Amino acid sequence: MNSCERTLSRLPAVAAVVFSLACTQLLAQSEAAQAQLLQSRQLLEQLEGTYGRLDPRLLESLEQLGNRLSELGEYDDANEVLDQAIQITRISEGLFTRSQLPLQFSKIDNLVDARDWRRANRLMEYVVSLLNRRENIVDEGFIQASLRLADLHLRGVVEDGTVRQSTHIKYAARLTERALNLAVSAWGPYDLRLPAIIYKRVVQLHLQARAVEVGGSIGIGLRAFSSTGPGLARPRSDVLLEYYFNGLSRLGQIRNIYSNQETLNPEAIAFADVYIGDWQVLFSNQDGAERSYLSAYNGFRTANIDLQAINQFFHSPKLLPAISFHSNWEEANASSNIDAGEEVNTQDVVNLSVIPWSANFSHVSSPFEFDTTTPRHAGFREMAEYSLILASLEKVYRWHRGRYITSISTAQELRPVRARSLDPEAQFELEARIKSIRFRPKLVGGVAQAVSAKLFYDTFQ
């Protein structure tokens, strides 16, 4: 009896039918993937027989075979194939050529998915050494490679050992700062490619702030005066204040870029104000959030965007911080799946969904996109359902982790609708996590409004 059959025997009739269909589909996909894998192996063997094992004409087939092995979770075999491709690249183009970077990143991805962080960390250090070489030209590819490496370090924050978590988040910050500084030097201070990089750093600053708030080894690591060993740590309030002003300055830099173009784009400036308002919410600055959201509304009206369209876009609260950065109205609407012809019902109970990044970052979402089709991240989710009120930007005072805190745009009147059975202590902790989540409030005419909502919270972590 295979795993699907064992699971089916324990399920109710309706669930068994659904699960059976899912198993059948997965089995068909697996058989198709195995057939494609066999085809890729045969093609590679033919090419090796014709040209030899170290001919550059093998590279495309090697990458294809490596990708298919990775998709099937055969990471060691995939890395052996990638090693051959890297060797060919080094022989044909040079030992330290940047063209090997995509192959090295694929290899790191495989090691991370296999949870072999020891080897992944060593390989990431080697990639840094490649990026640090003086002959590198600072172009789009170089900047994106640095940012991709920063994202890999962010994965390490939640997936690598506890001892290295603060190291990973510091490396991610360092790589992003360096990429940003080099991009400014190469492209100029008002280049329109800069805001996306700056905003990535803003999201990282928020993650650092949340880590400091939560405490533990990662929080202490970020507050420490020295990274060489145990010692004194800076006060939590001082570090949080530093992150707040740093992020506010970065967002102001984005707004300044859009304000210094030859042809002004009021849409882009208005979106910058939206993100500034979000930042104020994250740090519980009620007055600053109100001013920024109202400024954004006025900016959208200046850009001749219809009043109803603006209110429709801001009808549903959004989990903060927003991971994607937008400066264009159509692009932002498309990413939000908003139907421009749909009428807004002010009496609607909005649905909110939160998939936390990890147990330690339970009130923020992942700062980058995962491929949920891979074996590492696929699977069924366990969602708890709560009803709640988001009371615009009113200040909420409560005790959390032994501290009296102030927050705005967080859940109030939280009531479970559907949730797994937990002991009272675990239930209290889960609800405290949910109350720590910040949302961009519903906005009407640029003014925050109270809203009733249903929250679906992923308790898989």
Residue with the bigger pLDDT between 237 and 29: it is: 237
Given a cut of 70, whether residue 232 has pLDDT beyond it is yes
**How many angstroms from the chain centroid is the CA of residue 277?**
20
* Mean pLDDT, rounded, for 156-169: 86
Structure tokens at 442: 């519903």
Q: How many CB atoms lie within 10 A of CB 145?
A: 21
Residue 170 belongs to a domain:
yes
Q: How many CB atoms lie within 10 A of CB 1?
A: 7
In the chain, % of residues over pLDDT 90 = 58
**Together in a domain, 316 and 215:** no
Structure tokens at 268: 């882009």
Residue 47 belongs to a domain:
no
C-beta separation of 243 from 209 below 8 A = yes
pLDDT number for residue 278: 98
Q: How many CA atoms lie within 13 A of 189 on its CB side?
A: 6
Residue with the bigger pLDDT between 332 and 419: it is: 332
Residue 45 belongs to a domain:
no
Q: With cut-offs at 50, 70 and 90, classify the pLDDT of residue 25.
A: low
Q: With cut-offs at 50, 70 and 90, classify the pLDDT of residue 378.
A: very low
**Together in a domain, 280 and 410:** yes
Cα first-last separation, the chain: 29
pLDDT number for residue 214: 80
Residue with the bigger pLDDT between 410 and 2: it is: 410
* Mean pLDDT, rounded, for 216-232: 74
**Together in a domain, 290 and 233:** no
In which region does residue 422 sit, left (phi positive, over 0), alpha (psi from -120 to 50) or beta (all else)? beta
Range from 164-178, 229-243, 356-370 carrying the lowest mean pLDDT: 356-370
Domain coverage including residue 227: 137-262
Residue 370 belongs to a domain:
yes
* Mean pLDDT, rounded, for 131-135: 93
**Together in a domain, 256 and 282:** no
Give the whole-angstrom CA distance, residue 255 versus residue 417.
42
The kind and range of the H/E element at 166 are: helix 165-187
32 contact partners, CB below 8 Å, separation of at least 6: none
**Together in a domain, 194 and 317:** no
Establish whether the linkage from the previous residue to 321 is cis, with ω within 30° of 0: yes
**Together in a domain, 253 and 269:** no
Q: With cut-offs at 50, 70 and 90, classify the pLDDT of residue 111.
A: very high
Q: How many CB atoms lie within 10 A of CB 295?
A: 19
Residue 66 belongs to a domain:
no
* Mean pLDDT, rounded, for 5-28: 52
Give the whole-angstrom CA distance, residue 240 versus residue 262.
36
3-class state of residue 138 by DSSP? coil
pTM of the model: 0.87
Residue 115 belongs to a domain:
no
pLDDT number for residue 4: 55
Q: With cut-offs at 50, 70 and 90, classify the pLDDT of residue 18.
A: very low
C-beta separation of 275 from 293 below 8 A = no
pLDDT number for residue 9: 53
**Together in a domain, 225 and 279:** no
239, 262, 285: which is the final residue of a domain? 262
Residue with the bigger pLDDT between 365 and 208: it is: 208
Residue 130 belongs to a domain:
no
Q: Provide the domain count of the chain.
A: 2
Residue with the bigger pLDDT between 338 and 218: it is: 218
**Together in a domain, 337 and 421:** yes
Q: With cut-offs at 50, 70 and 90, classify the pLDDT of residue 119.
A: very high
**Together in a domain, 355 and 219:** no
**Together in a domain, 172 and 291:** no
pLDDT number for residue 429: 82
Residue 196 belongs to a domain:
yes
262, 283, 311: which is the final residue of a domain? 262
Structure tokens at 256: 């300044």
Q: With cut-offs at 50, 70 and 90, classify the pLDDT of residue 229.
A: low
pLDDT, the chain, mean:
86
Count how many residues are written for the chain: 461
* Mean pLDDT, rounded, for 210-216: 84
Range from 34-43, 221-230, 270-279 carrying the lowest mean pLDDT: 221-230
Angle, in degrees to the nearest 10, between helices 194-214 and 165-187:
160
DSSP state of 417: E
Measured CA distances, 329 to 265, 323, 427 (Å): 11, 16, 40
444 contact partners, CB below 8 Å, separation of at least 6: 311, 314
Per-residue pLDDT tens over the stretch 303-331: 999 999 999 999 999 999 999 899 999 99
Per-residue pLDDT tens over the stretch 31-76: 777 878 888 888 888 988 998 999 999 999 999 999 999 989 999 9
246, 262, 278: which is the final residue of a domain? 262
Q: What are phi and psi of 401, to 5 degrees?
A: 55, 40
C-beta separation of 258 from 268 below 8 A = yes
3-class state of residue 141 by DSSP? helix
Per-residue pLDDT tens over the stretch 386-395: 999 998 898 8
**Together in a domain, 308 and 416:** yes
